[in-house]
Amino acid sequence: MTREQELAIENNANRLISECIDIKKSMMDKAEAEKDFGFSLYQGGIVPGNQLRVVNITGVDTEACCGTHGDNTAEVGWIKIIKSQRISDGIVRLYYCARERAMDVMNNETKILNNLCKSWSVDLGAVEQTAARFFKESKTYSSLCEKQEKQILGLQMKVALSDAENHKFFVKSDQDAPTLYIGQLPQYAQLLKDKKKGVCFLGSNFVIGLFGEPSLINLDDIKAFVEKTSSKKPNVRVQDKVSFKFKEKNKAPVNATGVCQFMITGENLNVEKLVELLTAQGIVELE
């Protein structure tokens, strides 16, 4: 359901509550109840037996139900729909709260809005417009940042590939996740293979790299270190085939074999100790 539909139901329910409508409960013969109210009595399911407990919200709805009910709609206090969920075709479940709990939810929503007003230094009426502006700017800067990160990676790889003295490098990364390297590093596979070079990137929760000459790195030592120091069981992925398809026109895809592409993810890795481990293997830091 859309939020507008949820609000329409919520508003209608609260209007009925505020009208203080009497709720009548009585035992009726099943045949008589069906004659008077029809089979809409069973919207909650068929009730067994020849006698029905009929709950009638005067002029609103009548159901066969053995549940607990108040004597007046006003006793509900207030209804607040929290969310809706599609159960199956034609069936939607509504999650809602009432009375004090509804007040708690509404008060919390008001608190959030007030905190946003204070944080952004705007009036309540400007919150929606300000949020939309922030979201638009966030997408713009996120796109710009992503573009710059790719350019930086390109420059780093250019330096590594042009270095005449060293053949294997590491970079201490400030990325929160290896996503950038997963998506962009494979394009350099053939160049690294041709020049027998390799580069790896170290983050607080990952080690990822690509070596055109697999013998340049001892992965077993790195795996053992991560398994020993990570606060959760590490995930290791190694492959000797790399494929990359450029988005730019007239650029042939990269398909390299016999290389070593790897990614080891853990948690709270000791980057400085990793640096010592890689340095001991003759892998130098890329400045």
CATH number of 3-120: 3.30.980.10
Helix axes 127-162, 99-120, angle to 10 degrees: 60
* CATH of the domain spanning 144-285, picked from 2.60.40, 1.20.144, 3.10.310, 3.40.50: 3.10.310
Torsion sign across C-alpha atoms 138, 141, 145, 146: positive
Helix (H, G, I), strand (E, B) or coil at 87: strand
Domain boundaries, the chain: 3-120, 144-285
User: What pLDDT band is residue 11 in, cutting at 50, 70 and 90?
Assistant: very high
For a pLDDT cut of 70, what percent of the chain falls above it? 100
Q: What are 76-85's pLDDT values in tens digits?
A: 999 999 999 9
pTM of the model: 0.65
Tokens for 243?
A: 């494929």
Q: What whole-number distance in Å separates Cα of residue 269 and Cα of residue 228?
A: 10
Q: Taking every pair of C-alpha atoms in the chain, what is the biggest distance, in angstroms?
A: 97
Write the pLDDT tens digit of every residue in 49-72. 889 999 999 889 999 988 878 899
Residue 55: both structure tokens together? 């709950």
What is the chain's mean pLDDT, rounded?
92
Q: pLDDT, tens digit, for every residue of 96-154? A: 999 999 999 999 999 999 999 999 999 999 999 999 999 999 999 999 999 999 999 99
Averaged pLDDT for residues 209-217 = 95
Give the count of beta carbons closer than 10 Å to the beta carbon of residue 181. Answer: 23
Whose tokens are 């002029």? That residue is 59
